[in-house]
Structure 1
């Protein structure tokens, strides 16, 4: 089962200059994401893990926390220092954290 020993941080604890890894799908990313997040969909993470820095804390986010918990567990098992952002982008938006979109529409969490 995923998530049993996965470190979790609250949205408010993610520093503005922190490495935020968004593991949602492309349509979710386009609709709305944190401005400085890095997008690697969960399904591509195994092949693209080398893009994720090993020398700093990694904050992983998805829509509500399930996929990011899987990513955190896999990254930590492979030697990274990763934490799951509690509540995902849904909590991020509710907390009023900055968001942007890749469309002409206002950013939203889908």
Structure 2
């Protein structure tokens, strides 16, 4: 749905040293996230725009819908942003590292 309008990359192709922005809600973040990612829930992105790095930003959510909206906004602001297709579900399926989950294994909520 967003592929023609929003720059997109698959989870397996995201560089290990990429600047990541996770726009999920706090409970989703707590369940499991990418270590080193910046967590700004989608509803706070506009107000916290100054916190974002100037480098290419890889944006994720659970499946890619919310992050696609954020990427569309960031690109319109002149930022270099890319949506991670499939979000955290695709990240987990690609075997990419995750942290969180409290005492248990991290998981996607």
Band the TM-score falls in, shorter-chain normalisation: over 0.9
CA deviation map 1:69-109 (0-9, x unaligned): 00000011011100000100000001110000051221000
Unaligned runs of 5+ in 1: none
Distance 1:12 1:88 in 2: 11
**Number of residue pairs matched?**
108
Mapping of 1:48-63 within 5 angstroms? Answer: 48-54=48-54, 56-63=55-62
CA shift for structure 1 position 36: 1.6
Displaced runs of 4 or more, over 3 A = none
Root-mean-square deviation (Å): 1.2
What is the TM-score with the length of structure 1 in the denominator?
0.94
Unaligned runs of 5+ in 2: none
CA shift for structure 1 position 65: 0.3
What is the TM-score with the length of structure 2 in the denominator?
0.94
